[in-house]
């Protein structure tokens, strides 16, 4: 009985991941507001649009990282502590699954990996916005990066055909 109650120590990473979610959402919102302010109040140059766009993409990246923290917190809570009762109260069936429908640690890892890969794609996009395409070597690297990003997006959604 005491060992079963010890699982409640998992509330610490759950609360910290939810606090991290709030922090990353706040940082992302600041980045986007900074971008809006910069766009409207900076002198009109060609660099303004690129800087504003990079700042917006940075804000979106922070939002995605916050979503990863949120998934982690909800997943740990549902796996180790309890099902999320507010979600269950609104559902019609008893076996509808949890808010994120996480059944195991491997399932939680799958969901986190998908969100983190999207966050990495957004980070790469932000970096690619600021790269000056001045010579052929840089353009080849740029195209290679786009190809790798497209391949990672494909592999995230690829499901092999069943042999039935």
- The pLDDT-based confidence of 89 (bands split at 50, 70, 90) is low
Position with higher pLDDT, 85 vs 81: 81
User: What residues contact residue 103 under an 8 Å CB cut-off, 6+ apart?
Assistant: 97
Tokens for 45, please give them: 């140059």
If one counts the domains in the chain, the total is 1
Q: Give the residue-averaged pLDDT of 48-70.
A: 89
Residue at 136 is within a domain: no
pLDDT of residue 86: 53
Looking at per-residue pLDDT, the higher value among 42 and 20 belongs to: 20
Average pLDDT on 39-58 reads 82
In a domain, 143, yes or no: no
* pLDDT at residue 92 in the model: 56
CA proximity to 104, closest of 79, 82, 80: 79
pLDDT of residue 29: 96
Alpha carbon 41 to its chain centroid, in Å, reads: 30
- Please report whether residue 110 resides in a domain: yes
Residues 137 and 128: their CA atoms lie apart, in Å, by 14
Average pLDDT, rounded, for the chain: 81
User: What are residue 21's phi and psi, to 5 degrees?
Assistant: -60, -50
Domain that holds residue 101: 2-129
13 falls within a domain = yes
User: Is residue 153 situated within a structural domain?
Assistant: no
Average pLDDT on 138-159 reads 82
């Amino acid at each position: 009985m005491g060992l079963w109650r010890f699982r409640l120590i998992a509330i610490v990473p759950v609360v910290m991941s939810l606090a991290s979610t709030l922090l990353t959402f706040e940082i992302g919102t600041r980045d986007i507001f900074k971008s809006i302010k910069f766009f409207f109040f900076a002198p009109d140059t060609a660099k303004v649009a690129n800087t504003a766009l990079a700042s917006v993409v940075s804000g979106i990246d922070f939002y995605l990282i916050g979503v990863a923290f949120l998934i982690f917190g909800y997943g740990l809570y549902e796996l180790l502590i309890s099902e999320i009762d507010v979600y269950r109260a609104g559902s019609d069936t008893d076996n509808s699954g949890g808010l994120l429908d996480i059944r195991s640690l491997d399932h939680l890892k799958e969901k986190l990996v998908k969100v983190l890969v999207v966050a990495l794609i957004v980070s790469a996009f932000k970096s690619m916005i600021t790269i000056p395409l001045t010579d052929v070597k840089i353009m080849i690297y740029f195209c290679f990066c786009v190809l790798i990003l497209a391949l990672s997006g494909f592999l995230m959604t690829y499901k092999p055909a069943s042999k039935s």
